[in-house]
Amino acid sequence: MNIILLGPPGAGKGTQAKRLEEKYGLTQLSTGDMLRAERKSGSDLGRKVQEVMDAGQLVSDDLIIELIAHRIDQLEGGKGFILDGFPRTVPQAEALDRMLKEKGLRLDSVIEMTVDEAALVDRIAGRFSCAKCGASYHDRYHRPKSEGVCDVCGSRDFVRRADDNPEAVKTRLEAYRRQTAPILPYYRAKGVLHPVDGMAEIGEVARQIETILGNPK
Ligand code: AMP
């Protein structure tokens, strides 16, 4: 099963992708995570995208398409994938179609996580995560059980994304409205688009997605 999680920054795509990995045995392909890993490794690509990412703008289609094509190529034989953060523009959606066709793969569902934009800035601005294991937290909604210690791995090191500041968040929401939202009609026309209420509690959003996808095979 191959699916796309679509929605603005802060909609909860990453959180739901992790749950779907566990429940359905799918592989999460997050272009944002891939780019952050490139930056951390200090590669040429990482240095190239640094400024654009921190400003909250989208990196070029060519670069992203090459990155994701390479990952899909490496996935032979798995149970399928969850695209998280890709595609984000119409040319990316068209390129994905061509890639899937070439490999004889199909796209089963596109889950659109709908959210109230006013709530997003608040959600995103408080996010932080464990530097060691990546577990996510929030200043107000989800603090570690023991202050300053990761619930999952016990580390005391936490990080915040450079693009989770109010200015970059505004640019990221604008990029979603102008460049990403236009791909919704593309998938609606193909009959694969399914909206879920991204403002609901995490477990409820997961239940709505599972109803759409059906039982794991
Ligand atoms: P994310 O973690 O999905 O919010 O992505 C973080 C940043 O990485 C975005 O604000 C963009 O700068 C860049 N990025 C991630 N995925 C894409 C994509 N599909 N197209 C263009 N830029 C992307």
Low-confidence ranges of the chain (pLDDT < 50): none
pLDDT of residue 113: 96
pLDDT of residue 49: 96
pLDDT of residue 33: 93
**Ligand 1 atom 19: the closest Cα is on which residue?**
86
pLDDT of residue 78: 83
pLDDT of residue 118: 83
**Tokens 């034989």, located at residue:** 77
**Tokens 């040319």, located at residue:** 91
pLDDT of residue 121: 87
E-only strand ranges, the chain: 3-6, 27-30, 81-84, 109-114, 127-130, 136-138, 158-159, 193-197
- pLDDT tens-digit map of 168-182: 999 999 999 999 999
Separation of CA 58 and ligand 1 centre (Å): 6
pLDDT of residue 26: 95
pTM score, two decimals? 0.91
pLDDT of residue 117: 85
Q: Is the CB of 176 under 6 A from ligand 1?
A: no
Q: Is the CB of 56 under 6 A from ligand 1?
A: yes
pLDDT of residue 8: 95
Separation of CA 88 and ligand 1 centre (Å): 8
Is 113:4 a contact under the CB 8 Å cutoff?
A: no
Q: Is the CB of 53 under 6 A from ligand 1?
A: yes
